[in-house]
Amino acid sequence: MNKEDLIQIWENFAKDNDFKLNPDREHVGFIIQGVLKNEAKYGLKLCPCRLRDGTRQKDLELICPCNFKTQETWLNPKQGMSQMCWCGLFVKR
C-alpha cells in the first residue's frame, strides 16, 4: 500500500462524519510515514503517535486511524485552527 492509497482510505473513513482528513498534507505525510514504518516493523498499520503494549490484542486497538472518536477531547493547537484528534490526522469540520 502506498501513501495515496492511505489518503484515499482515510478520506473515505471521514466521509459523512463530523471530521475530515487534515488539509495540511505535509502533516498527513508525516503520519503516513509513521504508519508505514510501523507496518514494516510490526506487521500492522499502527498509529505512530501511540505507544505499543507489545501484545497483539492491545496493539490491534492502535491501528490507524485509531478510535479517537471515543475521546471526548479534541486538541486545539493554535488559535484559529480547527480542533484535531490526538495526532492531528483528522480535524473537526
Q: pLDDT tens, 6-49? A: 999 999 988 988 889 999 999 999 999 998 998 898 888 877 87
Tally of domains within the chain? 1
> Could you list the residue range(s) of the whole structural domain that residue 20 is in?
3-92
Q: Which residue from 53, 51, 35 is spatially nearest to 43, judged by alpha carbons?
A: 35
The CATH number of the domain holding residue 9 is 3.90.460.10
Q: Which residue from 5, 36, 3, 10 is spatially nearest to 91, judged by alpha carbons?
A: 10
Kindly report, residue by residue over 70-83, the tens digit of the pLDDT: 555 566 666 556 77
